[in-house]
Amino acid sequence: MLYPKLNEKRELYNLNGLFRYREVADDYQPTSPAEGTRPIAVPASMNEQMTEHEHREYVGKVLYEKNFAIPVCDKCEYRLRIGATGHRAEIFLNGEKIGDNDNGFLPFDVEIFPVAGENRLTVIIDNRLTFETLPVGIIREGNKQDIRHDFYNYTGIHRDCLIYSLPKCGAIRDITIDTFVDDDEKKLHVSVESNAKTVRCTVLDMTGNIVYDGASGDVSLSASHLWSPEDPYLYTLRVTTETDRYDQRFGIRKVEVTSDSFLLNGKPIHLKGFGMHEDAPLLGKGNCSAVNVRDFELLKWINANCIRTSHYPYAEEILDLADEYGILVIDEVQAVGINWWRGGSFAEDHGYRALPLHKRCIEKLIARDKNHPSVIMWSLSNEPGTEEPECRRYFEEIFATARALTKLPLTVAECTAYPDSKIEDLPDVLCINRYFSWYTDSGELSVIEPQMNHILTALHKDFNKPIIVTEFGADTIAGFHSLPAEMFSEEYQYRYLEENCKEIDRHPYCVGELVWNFADFRTKQEVRRPGGNKKGIFTRDREPKMAAFFLKDRFAKLK
Ligand code: GCB
């Protein structure tokens, strides 16, 4: 799945900016231009732009509409690509349905047949979460959305809305670059999906020197330079056909997992960083380069080397920056909240209803992100209710789906309802989310060391796999201070991290620590969430809290 690019063979038109917007009934058909609309910005969530409660919290279908005209050439195929909508969407051109998007965080890409002159694009988005969607949710009486995940259910066109052209003959439709690193040899295997008569592959190094020129298939480079966080060296593969050209960046790196270490290019690495969210004031989940660049600058400032795309695939632009800045990525699919059977029954509750979509999203995620050197592991879910015996088969199918598509390690963030989880044998790396002295033993920092010691020791003894603490954190109101350290103060967050890290350091098979969360983020309104989740090390507008300085020092020393 290639990201649309502009070059001498391809046109690219950006429809971002203002759309016409309104809420619509379930049976609405866009046979004529919508009436009674108001302006709305794209890419952005509609919710942050609204001032009235009933519109901000609207549950149901909304319409985005925009007219456009482009030069139409008869040798070209035109495609519409929307990076993400929140969530399911139906897409219409000039009143005719051209496709559906079945999920909220992966691209929609379809051939379109624009007419010469004005065209009307209509996107109808449904933000309702059910047992067939991901994240999973339920609609209660009175059209109330009930969710079991801790981030705001934003709606809108969240990523770029683009139209691009491909030549009708000889188009490059997909490129897959597999890299192989042995002691003294570095090779690539390049597959190109195209009906062109000739496909030429040229590999350029970072200074533009040609290090390979020839056919696709097995490729040996005349010189090779590995990609790593310290040295994020990127090559460009230029694929050319009679009628098309596409430049795909890639890096060469090797990922391995042993029973007690995570290896990058043959050397053990300690993953240090954060679980994140796509979330910012005014934008909600709208992709914005300024926010993305600031985030990566902060990640470098604090000496982090890894993020998890909690709890859904992030915009492709973010992964491009991760490749460039040298930030490793645990790439997570949007399977969050699949624990509805907790306190109920798996079979009576959602059971296997999300399984087909869950598999499709894994396939699309891997197809989208397979060429990013920064992606070092796929996370197939966050905190599913794996203590229920019947979910074993569900996850066997999920892991089999992913294994067939990738050589990278697989995990589930927190599948360890230890000792009751039924799936700890499936992942390559165990990831645990733990909040000792926060949700349990609140305010008692002294419990962290013994409790963290207990879970890390027991898991490694029982499963003999490396462990990453993928979540630990404390809500902190920026500017609230207390001595001795009390919950919600900056001092408590600082001390909480110190205590957790002390214990992590004592377990060499604990190969990573991802603090929850990089920045404060919006959630649904609830008693324990004053203005959202405040576990950020940075505020929502990306300024440091006191604990950021503890982590900056610690991450600099950790190798
Ligand atoms: C978790 C979830 C995360 C929440 C976090 C919290 O375990 O994975 O989505 O935001 O806890 O702060 O409660």
The string of pLDDT tens digits covering residues 385-398 is 888 888 889 999 99
Task: Determine whether 383 is an active site residue.
Answer: yes
Homologous superfamily, domain 17-159? Galactose-binding domain-like (2.60.120.260)
| Residue 286 predicted with pLDDT over 90 | yes
Cα dist. 218→27, 176, 248, 252, 370 in Å?
52, 12, 17, 14, 17
357, 99 in Cβ contact below 8 A?
A: no
In the structure encoding, which two tokens stand for residue 155, read together?
């709606």
**Alpha-carbon distance 559 to 555, whole Å?**
8
Active site residue 449: no
Question: What's residue 259's pLDDT?
Answer: 98
Task: Judge if the beta carbon of residue 521 lies within 6 A of ligand 1.
Answer: no
**Kind of pairing, strands 12-14 and 161-167?**
antiparallel
The one catalytic residue in 48, 383, 387, 424 is 383
Q: Is 48 in the pocket of ligand 1 (CB under 6 A)?
A: no
Rounded Cα gap, residues 510 and 429, in angstroms: 10
Average pLDDT, integer, range 299-311: 98
Say which CATH architecture domain 271-532 belongs to. Alpha-Beta Barrel (3.20)
Q: Is the CB of 535 under 6 A from ligand 1?
A: yes
Tell me, in angstroms, the distance from the centre of ligand 1 to residue 150's CA: 6
| Nearest of 293, 548, 258 to residue 429 by alpha carbon | 258
Average pLDDT over residues 5-22: 98
Query: Closest Cα to residue 498, out of 448, 457, 439?
Result: 448
Mean pLDDT score, 406-430: 91
Q: pTM of the predicted model, to two decimals? A: 0.98
* Full DSSP string of 478-534: TT---SS--TBSHHHHHHHHHHHHHHHHT-TTEEEEEEE-SB-B----BTTBTTSB-
At residue 345, does pLDDT exceed 70?
no
- Ligand 1 near 533 CB (within 6 A): yes
Domain locations in the chain as residue ranges: 17-159, 271-532
Which structure tokens are listed for 553? Answer: 């020092």
**Cis peptide upstream of residue 419 (ω within 30 degrees of 0):** yes
Q: Are 492 and 482 in contact (CB under 8 A)?
A: yes
Give residue-wise pLDDT tens across range 59-116: 999 999 999 999 999 999 999 999 999 999 999 999 999 999 999 999 999 999 999 9
Residue 374 has pLDDT above 90, yes or no: yes
